Each structure stands twice: as C-alpha cells, then as structure tokens.
Structure 1
Amino acid sequence: MKYLFIALFFLTSSFICCFTQELNEQVIDSLYKEDQFYAGITYNLLGKRPTDVSQSGFSLGFHLGFIKDMPINKNRNIAIGVGLGYSANSYNQNLLINKDAIGNTTYTILDNSSTYAKNKFSSHLIELPIEFRWRTSTAADYNFWRIYAGFKLGYVLAHTAKYRGDLGKLRHTNIKDFNDFQYGLTLSAGYNTWNLFLYYALNPVFSGDARLNGDQMDMNAIKIGLMFYIL
C-alpha cells in the first residue's frame, strides 16, 4: 500500500504540472506571480541522537500545501512566499516509547537481543512556510531555475508511537513529551517542477520532560528529498 501511494503521488504531481503549464502558456501576464501548490516526499533523519539510538528502515515524509507569492522587485524574480500546508512524517528507530504501570511514558533502547518487526513514531502537522524566493522566471517562461530559502513553523496535530515484536503490539497516541510546535530552516533548489529540498529543525522533537537514562533528549528532525512546485 505504501508503494502504491508513492506511485499515485508522483503520477498525480506530473499530471497536474503538465495540465497547468498548458493553461499558463495561453495567457501572458506582465504582473505574474508564482502562486504555487507544492508537494514533496522526504527521507527523514534524526539529528543529535543519544548514544546507541539508531535508525533503521526507510523513514518517510509527505508534504502538501499552497504558497502565496509576493514579488518585491520590478523584474518579479525575487519574492516573498507565505503559505499553509500539511506534513506527515515517520521515524523508524530503536527507541522504544512505552507506558509504565501508572501511565508515565518510558524510553528504552532496543538492543541487539530484541526481536521486533516495527518500532517507530510518527507525526501529523499543519505548517506555515515562509520563503525568500529567487528564480529566473519571466512572464512568458514557466521553466526556470529557482532557489527558495526559508523558515517553516509547524503545529503537531497528532503523534503516534508503534511497536510490534517480542513485547506484543504496542500503540500510544498523543504523548505529552512531544513538542507541540516544530520549526526549522528550509531550502529548495532546482529547475522547473523538480527541486531538491532540505529541512533542518531548530528545536527538538521531544520536550525537556522526555528522558533517556536520566538525560534529556535533544533529537531534531532533518528531512532530505524532492519538492514539486506546481503552478
């Protein structure tokens, strides 16, 4: 099902891109703006991991939204972009998130002696991207180079920790130790629809209450992938 979703994601993005470009070629607007829908797929990493915490498998992120373009120069190739989007992310790793007998959240490392088929946490966010945009576009040219650098603020709507292995099946939702807000720096660079994308979180995934062996966890999210801008 995961691979079917990814295939449909790419096919839909390509179709919309081709369709909208054909429509745009019919009209030339000297006061054009690059108002854009965006869709992206990323490989998610955890930075600043505690000792013995490691990632395994493929941790995916899916990102969708719309950005309003506001040109700030006469040639309209420099602009500020402000948008609204949705992001779903998963992180496969060996940090077991569980509950003790009185309902407190516990964190332990799954060592090499543990047998498990799944151990991950995931999150769903509403995001506010803000970008400083440079591109080589003109009113009649829809295929252009771009570099978009910015900042993204996200509010976590829901998060889930899942485990399946020797301990059975575990599932915990809305764990209070997750930070409700995530924010970080972004960079998109590429040509036409296809762009490399990087996100580096400036704050940790977990709050200060989350402790591993008595120490605070400062893990932050790093996302690397492709971003598609669709007119």
Structure 2
Amino acid sequence: MNRSWSFILISGSMRVFIFLIIFFSGSVAFAQDFTSNEERPRVKIDSLYREDQFYVGITYNTLINGPENYSRDKISTGFTGGFLRDMPVNKNRTYAIAAGLGLTYNNYNHNFGVSGTNQSPNYAILGDGTYSTNRFTTLTADLPIELRWRASTFESTKFWRIYAGFKLSYLVYDRNVYDATLANIVIRDNPDLNKLGYGVYLASGYNTFNVYVHYGVNSLFKSGQVATEKVQLRSLNLGLIFYIL
C-alpha cells in the first residue's frame, strides 16, 4: 500500500473515532439530563413545620433592689442555651407554645461582699478601693415555657418573632470570690440562696438577631442581712438570643 492510501485510511479512521467520541458524549449528556429531569426526587414542602428548636444567648447582667449603697463593678456577663419543643396551635402555625430544658451561667461583679464560711456567711457593702475582685457566679438548670408569635411560612426561614416566656431555674452551682490585699475568701453552696428561682422574659427580633430581656421575679436570697436590711437582690439580664432550627 502506497503512502497516499495509508494517509486516506488513517484520516478515515480518525474521522470515525472523532464521530464515536461526539456520539457517545452526546448520549451520556442526554441520559444525564433525562435522568435529572425524570428521576430526580422531588422535595416535598413540609406544611407541618416547627420553628426554633435550639437557642443560645449572651447577656449583660445586673442585680437590682440591692441594699443601701449597693453598686455594680465592672462588666458582668451571662450565657444561656438549651432546647425547646415547638408546638403550633393554629393552622397557619404562626402561634405556638414551646417548652424545653436549658442551662444558664451568670456572673455578677459588685460591691456586695460575702465573708465568713460556707455554712455561716456574712454580708457587707464594700468600700471603694478595698478589694480587687468581688464576683458572684451561678449555674442553673432551666425549664423555659414560651408563648410564641411569628410571621413565618413553610417557604421562608426569615421572619419577625415575639416570644414571651416564663422560666423556672434550679440552682446547680454558686460561688462568691472576694479578693483583697489581706484576704482571699471563697464561699460555695451558700445556704442563704434560693435553690428555686423563677422569672419572666421576652425575646423579639427578625431572622437571626433577637433582643432578649429576663427579669428575676423572686430574690436570689431567701435569707441574709446587711446590718438590719434584708437582702432582696433580683437579677436583670439584657442581651441577644439566637434561635436555631
């Protein structure tokens, strides 16, 4: 076979090879498109949705209704988080009741001094410059119950909300640290504290960011006095809360 015939045969083979590549490529693309259009599972929209199952919050803390000359010192912060079971009560699911479990850590810096021992604490208002640290911390297990309104639909996760709640809190851990030049006193498991606390709160906002306000209805202390004045400190917590599905 001469060179010209070899060239013709090679050219013909190349054309057949290229044709086969194009043909099979088109077939695969068509099959994939057919599969994606005909066999792709359709996502069913859930009209029985529930909202905001988990929550996380950060707060600025203060205590109110303190003894005479009581004052805050430095910034006090708190953290809260937990789970809520959302239970819609109307057909459009814009109204709901929610109940759940959570934990709250609160920190308070102030001039309310605690001395003595764990079994027999004493209380006094500390003078300016007489201490470097005077911090009171608590950890509670919470039972929140909420009444909820939200402008939500099953097609959107961005909506306005107003949640009003009542929270029962059980004191799991407490610690007061007083640090001065001549003394370092740590009081734990203070018997004068209320083990069971209750408060009301409000959370409102749009989408991710929501303003949160919590007010402790009962006093943190069931007993204890500064001079002749009964201790009736109550908590007030202001911050942001984030709800997560």
Pick the TM interval, shorter chain. 0.7 to 0.9
Does the alignment pair 1:175 with 2:213?
A: no
Separation in structure 1 between the aligned mates of residue 140 and residue 112 of structure 2, nearest angstrom: 22
1:211 and 1:204 map into 2 onto residues whose CA distance is 13
Kindly indicate whether residue 207 of structure 2 is the aligned counterpart of residue 204 of structure 1.
Answer: no
- Alignment of 1:136 onto 2:155: no
Q: Is the 8 A contact 2:119 2:191 kept in 1?
A: no
Structure 2 distance, partners of 1:90, 1:186, is: 18
State the partner residue of 2:18: none
Q: Quote how far apart the aligned CAs of 1:67 are.
A: 0.5
Give secondary structure in 2 for the equivalent of 1:116: coil
CA–CA distance in structure 1, aligned partners of residues 44 and 175 of structure 2: 47
**Residue matched to 1:218:** 232
Q: 1:51 offset after TM fit, Å? A: 1.0
1:137-184 C-alpha deviation (Å, 9 max, x unpaired): 000110000000010110000100001112332111000011101111
- Find out whether 1:124 has 2:139 as its counterpart: yes
Amino acid at match of 1:51: E
- Tell me the distance in 2 between the aligned counterparts of 1:215 and 1:165: 25
SS of equivalent to 2:73: coil
Shift in alpha-carbon separation, 1:31–1:104, aligned structure 2, 3 A: same
Matched with 1:109 is: 125
Of the candidates 32, 43, 52, which is equivalent to residue 49 of structure 2? 32
Deviations 1:109-163 (A, max 9, x none): 1112x43221011100000010000000000110000000010110000100001
SS in 1 for 2:198: strand
Compute the displacement of 1:215 (Å).
1.7
Unpaired segments ≥5 residues, structure 2:
1-42
Length, aligned pairs only: 203
Instruction: Report the Cα distance in structure 1 between the residues aligned to 2:220 and 2:176, rounded to whole angstroms.
Output: 13
CA deviation after TM superposition for structure 1 residue 73, in Å: 0.4
Q: Distance in 1 between matches of 2:205 and 2:104?
A: 21
Aligned to 2:174: 159
Letter in 2 for 1:144: F
Deviations 1:60-96 (A, max 9, x none): 1100101100000010010001010000001100011
Which consecutive aligned stretches of 4+ in structure 1 deviate over 2 angstroms post-superposition?
none
Greater helix fraction, Structure 1 or Structure 2: 2
Q: Secondary structure at the match of 2:72?
A: coil
Question: Which stretches in structure 1 are left out of the alignment for 5+ residues?
Answer: 1-25
Q: Which residue, out of 224, 228, 231, partners 2:242?
A: 228
C-alpha distance in 2 between matches for 1:215 and 1:226: 34
- The structure 2 residue matched to 1:145, chosen from 134, 149, 160, is 160
Percent identity between the aligned chains? 43
Match of 1:96 in 2: 113
Q: Equivalent residue for 1:50? A: 67
User: 1:53 corresponds to which letter in structure 2?
Assistant: Y
Distance 1:163 1:201, change over 3 A: same
CA distance in 2, matches of 1:132, 1:97: 38
Query: Alignment RMSD, CA only?
Result: 1.4
CA distance in 1, matches of 2:186, 2:45: 53
**What is the distance in 2 between the residues matched to 1:162 and 1:27?**
56
Amino acid at match of 1:94: N
What amino acid is aligned across from residue 126 of structure 2 in structure 1?
L
Higher share of residues assigned strand: 1
